[in-house]
Structure 1
Amino acid sequence: MTALLSIYNNLTNRLTAADWMVPTLARFVFAAVLLVYFLNSGMTKLGDGISGLWTPSTGAYAQIFPRAFEAVGYDSDALSFFHQLVVVAGTWAEFILPTLIVLGLLTRLAALGMIGFTIVQSLTDVYGHGQESALGAWFDRFSDAAILDQRALWIFLLFVLVVKGAGPISFDRALQPRAS
């Protein structure tokens, strides 16, 4: 039994020493699972042509401010400057933050931004779009609820990056000053 425990401890100590693996795999999993999701979502919000970067589509307002957009008769010009600013910032965030995470550039800040983005996205889905059925419940026998189950895993993945950083294969590491 002592030999078996020794083998187990040796293996787990090696895994603990491989601290580079967790943030590197977290960025890889983010890229594999969520990068295209967010980029595609951002594409649906862009307006026509190059000016679409600062004049989002009407769909952007419907996705981000569904009730306010409906209240003004689906006329984006009738919304306030605040609404326009949030929609433009949200659209850009869907491109910039995931790209920064995948590159490993300003990773902790980008992951923190994505956590906030995911929380706002979830609240908008529930309160703005009325998707209470997508909320689900924790500690039940189902693991497929779009909000409490899936997005909790997204946030945990992003939290790993906030705590651990980007890992050794990143621009964050390359830009760190070298120890003398």
Structure 2
Amino acid sequence: MSYTLAKVAAISGGTAAAGGGIAVGASALSGAASPKQEKVSTSLEKTSNVEPEVVPTPQSEPASTKEPVCNVYLAEEPTPKEKTGSRKFTKFTEEFWSRDDFLKKVEEKNLWNKNNLNTEVGQGCTSHGRVFVWWGKGQQPQSETYVYASDMNNGKDWLKESGVDVPEKIKQQIQTL
């Protein structure tokens, strides 16, 4: 019997040292033709100091792709009327919208210049972050509409100009931007 124990110990020890574990040693004793091997992790594998390689990914754009808010402010018609280049806004109404809300309103009203307004307001928002319009006649034979004029949307912040009447509601809103 001691011979059998010695044989088991020798075979089990040899196969365990080789990384096969107890399953291989037991199969050798049982005489199985094709032993099923199980991977048994050794203490060497558990204490390995090898850390996984970290591959940096290039950042093409910031995490936030949210567009900045662009408001469209409604003013009274600038003065002097029809004198491009020297006109001024003197008073704003309490109405203002986000760009998207304004364009929805234009679409709902089915204004004759909705395509132009979409383009001009989009460009004004991109260039200056705010847009100023008024309600009136942009072209004489046409009906009233929102009017966008490039000379009134050239980067000047009309809400901060002296001599321009800005409602308290809008003043509070621009302080939070």
- TM-score under structure 1 normalisation? 0.19
Higher relative contact order structure (alpha carbons within 8 Å, sequence separation ≥ 6):
1
Task: Flag the structure with higher strand content.
Answer: 2
- Look at both structures and tell me which one has the larger radius of gyration over its CA atoms: 2
TM normalised by structure 2 equals 0.20
